Chains A and B, each alone.
Chain A
Amino acid sequence: MESSLIPIVTVPEVATVVEIREEIDEVKTFYFNFDRQEIEQAFKIKSGQFIMCTVFGAGEFAVSLPFSPENDRKHISVRRVGKVTAALHELQPGDKIGIRGPFGNGFPFEEIKGKNVIYVAGGIGLIPLRSSIVHVLQHRPEFGRVILVYGARSSRDLMYKESIRVWQATENFETYFTIDRPEPGWNGEVGFVNQLVAKINLPAENTVAFVCGPPVMFNSVIKELKLKGIKEEHIYSTLERHMKCGIGKCQHCAIGRTLVCVDGPVYTYKQIKTLGEQI
């Protein structure tokens, strides 16, 4: 394979895990660098894209990219759910992983300049949105209102607390948080994220919304956003599927007539409605 060929299609590129952080229960963030300098230089992503990550000896899995395309450390945040992610969680700094990609279409960026941007996340749904949030905040003057509405089961399940504090320091970044049940020491909202969306004053004109979370949360949030007057074609989400190749060949990620790996993973709600399958 050509050494300069990006995306990495067939043979994974070796990367070193340089730091591991415990984010929340069962979710860890793995910072990595490519071993080959030319790949480290050439590896460029768009927010919303994903990679195929090899845990040597265990297998490969698709994972969304939480880092910004510009000036951000390369990392992935992964929940321990299956065989391969469990093996990933066993790794120590200095261990090697394999990377293919980046793949997928990504979130719009240039097209949404000048607009208000609303991010609505549930639980670890903040992971794929993080990339876009950081990118937008890096270009803060080029956007209208930037709002994050974030809900999780409990305060311990809120992802990226450290990053969020940094973002809140950015001028004009509005944040709203909610947790499912009351907790001692929690002064914020209590309830599901869709209830919080209903409560707050959100712009509808010249606005795009990025939504990511479990399917139940997704549907109820969409309903509220539509009630606020946001158009279906301005609501974006990123979908997840079982994937084996990332390049549109294995067909495991087919939804309706589209393949999540090449036609997605980012879809507008207008598109999602026409797929004719559960999301």
Chain B
Amino acid sequence: MYWLEQSQVEMLLSKLAENYELFGPRRDEVSGEVIFDRLEDLHQLDLSAPIPYNPPKYILFPHYEEILKYRYNRKTKEVAIERINHLKPKALVGLRACDLNGLMCLDRFFLGQEFVDEIYLEHRKKLFLVSNTCVRPFPQCFCVCTDSGPAAREGFDLDLTLAGERYLVEVGSKKGQKMVEELGLKEAGPEAAGWKKKVVDESVSSFDAFAVENKAWISRATNRLTTGFIKPEVWEFIGNQCFECGACSFVCPTCSCFNVEDVNRLDGTTDRVRTWDSCSFEGYTKMAGDHNPRKPVEDRRNKRFFCKLSYSQSKKYLRPGCVGCGRCARVCPGDIGLPNVVTYIRREITGE
């Protein structure tokens, strides 16, 4: 491990900025919200800021993305199809462990199944990832219950842990190693590992203050969901509170459903765009001719929780589909974020 002084953070950023577009948590001046955003200026990065309200998934999997452009001339029967590539290397600095785990879920889902998603792959190819240990959890967090924090274990190029006044730097890749060497960071002694462990342990123990309710119940809920033993009434109860707004899907670091549409432009070309979609929307499964195999909202609603918690979905992500960031609970107008859903499942089990 190495030491990175607070004063050296800027050096790291400048070095990264030579080859990468920089993204990281910054405070929005108007709303005061923390957002994971493009950093126009190195000073915008705020490593001490609370968890950003949006996960970084949009950088690899944009809300709205043109994937193909074509032009078809019906008179001459000429077709020209052009693949749109977005090959700008990007550095994501200050990723929280939950969000890094979210990216790894997306990697395994988009790149590790029967087919490789070539569009995601283009985005993923040239990334530099710098994670940031949560030395203190935030009120919405429950990553300890989903095994995705407060410190990252893998997937990063560099991992930062604030220990006292400076950062302990753990290297996770050759790219990361090259970077610390180029920066000439001071090597930390053998006691560094113990120091990091102490910081992480303290962070974990402080979860007791707010993640009390559902701790240890997520695995029970997973068991119930996988075996299909949750009564339809529970889903009905949850479904009745759903506004079908899709916000949970959009702030979820691992939700990756998308829609594809061909949009005709005035210049006679057509863009094939892919956009985020959500299984909570009624039209999600509607086929041409209006046949819709899923109708009631609870029938659609439980699909999302199935993705987050079931074992069969975990096999695709090689970990639970929920990374415990708590964003769904924060944005849901119907108060059925994942922690509450686990509570309802728990109440069914215990008969509270």
Q: Which residues in A have some Cβ–Cβ distance to B below 8 Å?
A: 1, 9-12, 14, 16, 54, 56-61, 81-85, 94-96, 98, 240-242, 244-245, 247-252, 254-255, 257, 262, 276-279
Contact = CB atoms under 8 A, between A and B. Distances in A.
A249 B115 contact: yes
Contacts of B310: 257
5 contacts: A54-B262, A82-B288, A85-B288, A96-B72, A241-B285
Given A1-B83, A11-B81, A96-B79, A241 B293 contact: yes
Contact of A262 (B115, B116, B257, B299): B115
B257 A247 contact: no
Contacts of A84: 288
B294 interface: yes
A14 to B, nearest CB: 5
B296 to A, nearest CB: 11
Given A254-B303, A257-B310, A61 B288 contact: yes
A59 B74 CA distance: 15
B54 to A, nearest CB: 21
A278 B273 CA distance: 30
B67 to A, nearest CB: 8
B285 A252 contact: yes
Interface in B255-292: 256-262, 264, 270, 272, 274, 277, 279, 284-289
Nearest to A56: B72
Contacts of A255: 293
A81 B286 CA distance: 12
Given A81-B288, A94-B77, A242-B285, A251 B256 contact: yes
Contacts, number: 109
B340 interface: no
B293 A250 contact: no
B70 to A, nearest CB: 6
Given A1-B118, A82-B288, A242-B285, A249 B264 contact: no
B31 to A, nearest CB: 32
B277 A250 contact: yes
Nearest to B287: A242
B114 A247 contact: yes
Nearest to A254: B303
Nearest to B114: A262
Interface string B230-261: 00000000000000000000000000111111
A251 B254 CA distance: 13
B117 interface: yes
B77 A96 contact: yes
B8 interface: no
Centre residue among B109, B256, B272, B287 by max chain A CB count within 10 A: B287
Contacts of A262: 113-115
Nearest to B270: A57
Contacts of A96: 72, 77, 79
B312 interface: yes
Given A10-B118, A57-B264, A98 B81 contact: yes
Contacts of A12: 68, 81
Nearest to A85: B288
Given A1-B118, A249-B256, 5 more contacts: A1-B83, A9-B118, A56-B72, A56-B79, A95-B74
B216 to A, nearest CB: 25
Given A60-B262, A247-B114, A252-B277, A82 B83 contact: no
Contacts of B313: 257
A272 to B, nearest CB: 12
B128 interface: no
A58 B262 contact: yes
A29 to B, nearest CB: 18
B110 interface: yes
B119 interface: yes
Contacts of A244: 258-260, 274
Centre residue among A14, A54, A57, A249 by max chain B CB count within 10 A: A249
Given A56-B72, A252-B284, A9 B259 contact: no
Contacts of A82: 288-289
B334 interface: no
B77 A95 contact: yes
Contacts of A83: 288
A67 to B, nearest CB: 22
A11 B80 CA distance: 11
B256 A59 contact: no
B62 interface: no
Contact of A56 (B256, B260, B270, B303): B270
A82 B310 CA distance: 34
Given A11-B68, A11-B81, A276 B288 contact: no
B139 interface: no
Contacts of B294: 277-278
B228 interface: yes
Contact of A248 (B114, B264, B285): B114
A25 B294 CA distance: 29
Contacts of B117: 247, 249
Contacts of A247: 114-115, 117
B287 A240 contact: yes
Contacts of A54: 262
A240 B313 CA distance: 22
Contacts of A257: 306, 310, 312-313
Contacts of B289: 81-82
A271 B293 CA distance: 17
B78 to A, nearest CB: 8
Nearest to B255: A251
Contacts of B256: 249, 251
Contact of B293 (A57, A60, A277): A277
